[in-house]
Amino acid sequence: MTESLNRIRAFLADREPPTPCLVVDTDLVAARTAAVAAAFPDALIRYAVKANPAPEVLDAVLSAGAGFDVAGTGEIELCLSRGAEAAELAYGNTIKKPSDIAFAYTRGVREFTTDSAGDLANLAEYAPGSLVSIRLLLTGGPDSVTPFGHKFGCEPSVAATLLRQAVDAGLRPGIAFHVGSQQPDPAAWEIGVATAAKVAADAGVGLARLNIGGGFATGHREPVPSLADYAAVIHAALGEHLPGPGPELLLEPGRVIVADAGLIRTEVVLVTTRAATDERRWVYLDVGRYNGMAECENEAVAYRLEPVGVKGPEGPVVLAGPTCDGDDVLYQRTPCALPMSLRAGDLLDIPGTGAYTASYSSVAFNGIEPLRTYCVGRFADAG
């Protein structure tokens, strides 16, 4: 990772691109993809494009032999345009129009996820014979940092019914779950695997697929389990609950492949105090919740902050973005300290920001352009 950061910082020093910007090391993306494949040698790896859809990132993922988890027609087009085979795509979004399904099927996509009778009926009609995994709603497990709530997945009894309906409709049946993104507890997958095995047994259906989603966490201020730690728990759960020649395993990792490969450089716009009784300075950056730092919503992800060339004693700060929106505050409860000498015009680096930053960035809120992405490494010029 040091090598990767050195490459990114050398690019920033050499090119001095306008801030804010995200720089992604594509060599690390390829290496992380390979590391996931090595930890799960019998699984299909489908990188979740939503984490970072930069063409160079997709090229790096492809070079490491993985395919893609796509959320919609635009991502299908993008992946195919980078040379992915349709057979390497899994349409993981359970919310789709019949026209989206028909488009995907026409393009050759044959793997989908669903969690409702309506969508299942559409899949049977517009994607006949496809592999369709029923997404489970997992409740009562450990919380992830950015959970999905109740938006996706169905309860086990509903899933068992949908599984049987899928078979009756001539579809190849599977089960999917996602334990929530940035999930620091490997035990969450144990619950998912056990629930999937029970649902399949209750439905009396042999599974063609078990899709265990993404969710693998990356370290920011706190350490997280390694890929080997996650793999050990997941393989033990599979051995216990789905022994023998079980379903083919599929993973949809996003964050763990690209987060550490990215670094955002931002400029300090203003440093001020807001109340005589509050010693904390307010530090306003040119990056905020609408142009890259979306995962600071509810202060979910606590990124590290590294001043560039500014040193000396530190004091507490509240960190905020540049827009006129009152919610565009990054951290006011999460402790943050920056040098007392920090001034407008100084630069900060925010490492670990390759995932869910540029892809969440708005187009022109307050007239601010989306976060620009630059790539370094072997795949940098492919875009």
Ligand X SMILES: Cc1ncc(COP(=O)(O)O)c(C=O)c1O
Q: List interacting residues with ligand X (CB under 6 A).
A: 48, 50-51, 69, 92, 178, 181, 213-216, 252-256
Pick between residue 87 and residue 95 the one whose CB is nearest to ligand X.
95
- Alpha-carbon span 349 to 361, nearest angstrom: 18
CA pair distance 349, 351, nearest whole angstrom: 6
Nearest CA-CA partner of 144 in 214, 79, 196, 75 = 214
Cβ proximity to ligand X: between 44 and 347 the closer is 44
Minimum CB separation from ligand X for residue 351, in Å? Answer: 17
Taking the complex as a whole, how short is the minimal distance between the CB of residue 237 and ligand X, in angstroms? 18
Nearer to ligand X among residue 214 and residue 351 (C-beta) = 214
CB of 73 to ligand X, least distance (A): 16
Closest chain position to ligand X (CB): 214
Pure H helices in 292-354: none
In whole angstroms, what is the distance from residue 361 CA to residue 370 CA?
5
The smaller minimum CB distance to ligand X, of residues 51 and 293, is found at 51
Q: How far is the CB of 177 from ligand X (least distance, A)?
A: 10
Q: Which conformational region is residue 5 in: left (phi greater than 0), alpha (psi within -120 to 50 degrees), or beta?
A: alpha
User: For the chain, what's the residue count?
Assistant: 383
- Closest approach, Cβ 302 to ligand X, in A, equals 16
Please say whether the beta carbons of 89 and 131 come within 8 A.
no
Query: CB-wise, 43 or 48, nearer to ligand X?
Result: 48
Q: Tell me whether the omega of the peptide bond preceding residue 20 falls within 30 degrees of 0, making it cis.
A: yes
Are β-strands 21-25 and 372-376 bridged in parallel, bridged antiparallel, or unpaired?
A: parallel
- The residue among 133 and 373 lying less far from ligand X, judged by its C-beta, is 133
CA distance 124 to 167: 10
Please report how close the Cβ of residue 77 comes to ligand X at its closest, in angstroms.
18
Q: How far is the CB of 140 from ligand X (least distance, A)?
A: 20
Q: 372-376 and 111-114 as β-strands: parallel, antiparallel, unpaired?
A: unpaired
Nearest to 333 by CA among 357, 305, 295, 302: 302
Torsion over CA of 337, 342, 347 and 349, rounded to 10 degrees?
Answer: -10
> Residue 163: in which H helix or E strand, if any?
helix 156-168
Rounded to whole angstroms, how far apart are CA atoms 322 and 269? Answer: 8
3-state SS assignment for residue 259: helix
Shortest Å, Cβ 346 to ligand X = 31
